[in-house]
Every structure is written in C-alpha cells, then in structure tokens.
Amino acid sequence: MDEKTQKQIFDDWLTQHKGILFKIIRAYAFTPNDADDLFQEISLQVWRSIPEFRGESKPSTWIYRVALYTATVWVRKEKTQPLTQPLADVEHALTVTNRPRDERSEWLYQQIGQLEPIDRSVCLLLLDGFSYKEMAEILGISESNVGVKVHRIKQYLIQESKEVEHHGL
Amino acid sequence: MDFEELQVIWNNQTNEKMYAINEDALHAYIKRKGQSILHTLNLFEFILIGVNLFVGIWLTIESLDNNNPSTQSILAVFYLAFAVFSFIRRLIRRNEEKPFNQTIVGELDKAIWRVDYLMRQGKNAIIWYLIPLAAILGVMSFLDSKRLLWAFGLMVVTIVAAYFESQWENKKIHLPNKRNLEALREKLTTKENQ
C-alpha cells in the first residue's frame, strides 16, 4: 500500500470515527497532556494497522480494537514510565475544549476510570452496544468470559449510581 | 439507576465536543514515527544479511587473490554462512508471526512473542555470531604468526560488553515490558479474577 492511500484511509477513518477515539481517551487519560499523548499513540497504531486491514470487520470495530489495545498497554506503561518530557513547548495534536460538559457523563467516566484497564475496555464496548459475540471477537476471549465480566461491571456501575443518587445526580 | 439509564447518559455524550484535533501536528507526528517496529526489525535483518554477505564476498575475492588464502577463506565461509543463517531465521520469524489472531488477546500474544524474540536475538548474536567469530580469529591468530591477536582480543572484549549490555537490556526493558503484557493477558483471559 502506498503512503498516499494509507493517508487517505487514515483521514477518512479519523473524520468518521474520531468519536470512538475520544471516548477511549476520556476513559483512559485524565490530564490534557495524557490525553494528547494517548491520542498520538492511538493514532500512530491506527495508522500502522491500515495495511493489515482486510475488510473482514467494520472499520469502526477494527479501530475500536486497535485503540483499546493501545490504551490498555499505554496505561500500564504510563504507570511504570510516566511521561517526563515537558510538553509546554510541544505542539499538541489534541486539546481539551472549554465547552460545558454534562455532569452525568462526567460522573460516568469517573466510574469507568476507577476500573482496571482491561475492564474499562469491556465497559466501553458494553456501553456502545456491542453484543457479547462481537465483544468476544474483539477481545479474543470466550462469550461466557465476556458475560462474567459484563455482569460484574454492570453490578459495579449500578451500585455506584445508587450511592450518588442521594446526592442528586 | 438501572443500566439502561446509564446507557442513555452514555449515548447523550455524542453532542459533547470534548476535544479538538490539530491535524497538522498529528500528521507531523505520524510522519516522524510512522514506521512500525516490524519495519525496524526488517531493516535490522536486511542490514545483518547485507553486511555479512558483503564481507563474505569481499573476503572470498581477497582470498582468491592472496598467496595464503586459508585465513581469509575460513572467515569468508563464516560470514557467508551467517548471512544464509540470518536469511533463514528471518523466514522462520515471518512464518511464526502469522498465526496470531486479530483480537486484543492476539495483539498481546504477538507483543509477548516479539519481546521474547528480541531477548533471544541478543543471546543468539553472542552464541552463534560473536563466540564463533572470536574462536576462528583466536585459532587463526596463532596459526598466522599471531598477526590477528589484536582482532581476537577485540572480539573477546566485544563479547563481554555484548553479554552485559544484553543482560541489562533484558532486565531493564524487555522483562518489565513482558511482565506487563502477560499481566494484561492474564487479567483479560482469566475468569477467576472476577
């Protein structure tokens, strides 16, 4: 594949599916610098994955898989080798906007952020309406294993929501 | 709140413009780092094959022009053999990489396999390249009026340095990386952790 075609596909994917990337970044990175760093890392991995894409799955599923894998590995790497380079003078590829945010979705992301990195992947797929079969195909685990994880995550989210309902969420 | 209500909250976020992308900065970053690890690995293998092939051919030509060809021809055979070995090793690696499936577990398996491969490469380079080369140079330096003794000494120092460098690299970079990847895989695939 030549670079021009690769760039064309990448730009199309970025335009159509940036929402997926934003959700994943919001669930895994909690500071503007981290969000920028993770966005660059995910974009890079998506770019590198393009020549391997055979069209056997939807581009959105493909991007989800690549981005979730990258974010999960990034979080662990970030724990052991935190970002040390000062980013003040670096041109950011991603910036956080000042638009008002929905308090409830902010709360939901906070709860997702409390989960283990792998569970966050399951949680995002679950909230985005993927079936157990699709989730099993993306993650590479059995449907019954997905079922166990989903059950636990649902219980956790419902429990947390009950606790904050008293505070007027 | 039940799960369906949480899903409504989730679905409503599509209108939130949380981030803005700077496409120029992103493309500049990708241009800088776009080549994959696989590309670097391919380049390394091609250089390894090319250099050994070049030195092997050059020594073969030299030994044919020389009055005392034994020294250079032994080295030439070694270099040519190593070029062939590296080429075969590359073919094996490419075949071994194919079975990984395109899932997150598959990606983790592939990454773990690559870390193992990199760790093996360092060890293999010492055992199959530097030690035989040092042994040949050692034997030849004594057979050839100790003229190549300096080269033999240099190889011994290189082997010791390569050994410690490889140990350090494994301990500080590859092993922690591998443990991280294995922990993620374990977390994803084991039901008992729930």
Question: Which of A95, A118, A162 comes nearest B184 by C-beta?
Answer: A118
As a whole number of angstroms, the distance between CA B191 and CA B194 comes to: 6
Nearest chain B Cα distance for residue A87, angstroms: 13
Above 50 in pLDDT, residue B193?
Answer: no
Tokens of B152: 């033999």
What number is the average pLDDT over the span A162-169?
Answer: 70
Question: Which of B10, B103, B187 comes nearest A108 by C-beta?
Answer: B10
- B12 contacts on A by Cβ (under 8 Å): 102, 104-105
pLDDT in tens, B102-120: 889 998 998 898 888 888 8
Above 70 in pLDDT, residue B123?
Answer: yes
What is the pLDDT, as a whole number, of residue B102?
82
Bridge partner list, A95: B20
A49 closest CA partner among B176, B91, B104? B104
Tokens of A107: 């709360």
H or E element at residue A67: helix A59-80
As a whole number of angstroms, the distance between CA A168 and CA A164 comes to: 7
Higher per-residue pLDDT: A4 or B38: A4
CA A155 to chain centre: 21
What is the pLDDT, as a whole number, of residue A41?
93
What does pLDDT average to over chain A? Answer: 87
- A95 contacts on B by Cβ (under 8 Å): 19-20, 22
Higher per-residue pLDDT: A147 or B127: A147
What number is the average pLDDT over the span A85-113?
Answer: 79
- List of residues 6+ apart from B67 with CB closer than 8 A: none
Whether B19 and A97 lie within 8 Å, measured CB to CB: yes
Phi-psi region of B49 (alpha: psi -120 to 50; beta: other; left: phi over 0): alpha
Q: Which residue of B has its CA nearest to A92?
A: B25
Above 50 in pLDDT, residue A40?
Answer: yes
* Helices and strands per DSSP (H, E), number in chain B: 8, 1
Q: Which residue of B has its CA nearest to A52?
A: B102
What number is the average pLDDT over the span B154-164?
Answer: 88
CB B194 within 8 Å of CB B124: no
What does pLDDT average to over chain B? Answer: 83
pLDDT confidence band for A83 (50 / 70 / 90): low
Higher per-residue pLDDT: B147 or B65: B65
Q: How many CB atoms lie within 10 A of CB B4?
A: 7
pLDDT confidence band for A20 (50 / 70 / 90): very high
Above 80 in pLDDT, residue B148?
Answer: no
Question: Which of B33, B180, B188 comes nearest A118 by C-beta?
Answer: B188
ipTM (interface predicted TM): 0.81
For chains A and B, count residue pairs whose Cβ atoms are closer than 8 Å: 143
Above 90 in pLDDT, residue B72?
Answer: no
Radius of gyration of chain B (CA): 25
> pTM for the complete prediction?
0.78
Q: Decide: helix, strand or coil at residue B136.
A: helix
What number is the average pLDDT over the span B22-27?
Answer: 88
Mutate to test the interface with A, among B14, B102, B185 (most CBs of A within 10 A): B102
Tokens of B132: 């035989």
- A144 contacts on B by Cβ (under 8 Å): 191
Higher per-residue pLDDT: B36 or A150: A150
Q: Is B131 exposed, middle or buried (0-12, 13-18, 19+ CB in 10 A)?
A: middle
What is the pLDDT, as a whole number, of residue B156?
87
- B173 contacts on A by Cβ (under 8 Å): none
Which amino acid is it at A146?
Answer: V
As a whole number of angstroms, the distance between CA A64 and CA A69 comes to: 8
Whether B22 and A95 lie within 8 Å, measured CB to CB: yes
Lowest mean pLDDT among A68-77, A78-87, A156-165, B167-176: A78-87
